[in-house]
Amino acid sequence: MAEDTHAPTPLAAGAPAPPFTLPGRSGSVVSLADFAGKGHVLVYFYPKDDTPGCTKEACSLRDGFSDLRAAGVTVLGISPDGAASHAAFAEKYSLPFELLTDADHSVHEAYGVWGKTPWGLGTIRRSFLVGPDGTIVRVFDDVDVERHAGQVLAALKPAPVAEAFAAVEAAVEAAGAAVSTAVSESRKAVKGAMKSPEVKDAVAAAKKAVADVKKQPAVKKAVATAEKAVSDVKDAVSAARKRPAVKKAVAGAKRAVAGAKKAVADVKKKPAVKRAVAKAKKAVADAKKRPVVKKAVASAKKAVTRAKTAAAKKPTGALAKLLALVTPAKAAPKAKPAARNKAAKKAAPRKPAARKPAPKKAAPVRKAARKPAPKKAAPVRKAARKPAPKKAVSARKPGRKPVMRKAPRRKASRR
């Protein structure tokens, strides 16, 4: 079939649903007439299998499928995709309802859902709730892909509930109208009161009093002084900002702040930092979940509560007596002297109290001077030995060695 680019003519509620017979994903052929008199049929058209919006819509109907079946609703999805694509899509997301293929988009055109879309010529997302008699009960132009099952179930609510909702909406509108009327009448009353002579005279008197206060010399001078002070401050600030050193300092401070912010942001973006933060949070959470930690926290809370309760109570028994003995009693206020004693005290001048001489400080004990240690006597040097006179060489007997005698050493005498 040739593609038609004319604007589709959408169907409205109350119109008969166009019949169709299309192949399903399992290879079987499904007709709308097969469900006549057996309950409602949700015929929903979607652009393409396994795309983000179509996947959310299909999963919403899958999650609410048991409630839809309990309400007597059969779900049929239709798109131009082939049976193999439908089968893979249904298997991937465990879809329990039938998906039909409209390859030449003739059924799309019959329902007015084939036309221009933001992505070109194709399927317009729209759903139709068909009644047991074959007429369209509800058309869902604005499909909420994440809550489409809830939209269908809300459309199947009993009539009394719908009437109750309508009554509530009417009551809200009536209340809003009453509030608007009351506000309008209040404004009119205020305007009427402002036009009365008494109110006008009071307003004029107040304005005149303010004008008289402003004309007083002291007030004028104070206002002028304040204005001049403000002007001087502004001039000083402006002059300070124009100084090169100030400008340079401000620019440097801004650059430093920007660099610090960037450094902090870069550190936070590092995977190692993110992992460390996440690990620390997890460790804290795990520690809080441990029975030992929970028990310790509970015990600490109980101990604090007991301590507060004990501190609030007054001591009794032996403890109270002990505190009474330890705590010094307050001195009783002295009785006031008679009036004549006061007069006598005033007449007699007070003699200054003789000051007691301050005790003399004991003279510091001087430490005994240490005697110098006796110097050690210089060691006596040994007298130089005179060489012994050489004896005459006697004839040595053969076989004997001469005996050498050692001279005795003299010890140095110490004083």
Active site residues: 54
How many separate helices (H) and strands (E) can be counted in the chain?
Answer: 13, 9
- Which position has the token pair 């317009």? 124
Q: Taking a C-beta distance cutoff of 8 angstroms, is the pair 144, 159 a contact?
A: no
Short-list 35, 227, 50, 11, CA closest to 137: 11
Enumerate the H helices of 127-158 as residue ranges: 148-155
372 C-beta neighbours (distance < 10 Å), count? 6
Q: Is 65 exposed, middle or buried (CB count within 10 Å of its CB: 0-12, 13-18, 19+)?
A: middle
Q: Taking a C-beta distance cutoff of 8 angstroms, is the pair 313, 307 a contact?
A: no
What is each CA distance from 368 to 149, 159, 364, 365, in whole angstroms? 111, 121, 12, 9
Sorted by sequence, the CB contacts under 8 Å of residue 7 that are 6+ apart come out as 115, 116
Angle at 283 between CA 281 and CA 288, to 5 degrees: 95
Specify which residues 136 forms β-bridges with.
130
CA 200 to chain centre: 55
The DSSP output letter for 26 is: T
* Distance, CA of 264 to CA of 251 (rounded, Å): 20
Angle at 28 between CA 24 and CA 29, to 5 degrees: 75
Enumerate the H helices of 71-117 as residue ranges: 83-93, 106-111
User: E-assigned strands of 39-154?
Assistant: 40-45, 73-79, 98-101, 114-117, 120-123, 126-130, 136-140
Q: Tokens representing 66?
A: 């048991």
- Which position has the token pair 């009353």? 189
Q: Taking a C-beta distance cutoff of 8 angstroms, is the pair 62, 96 a contact?
A: yes
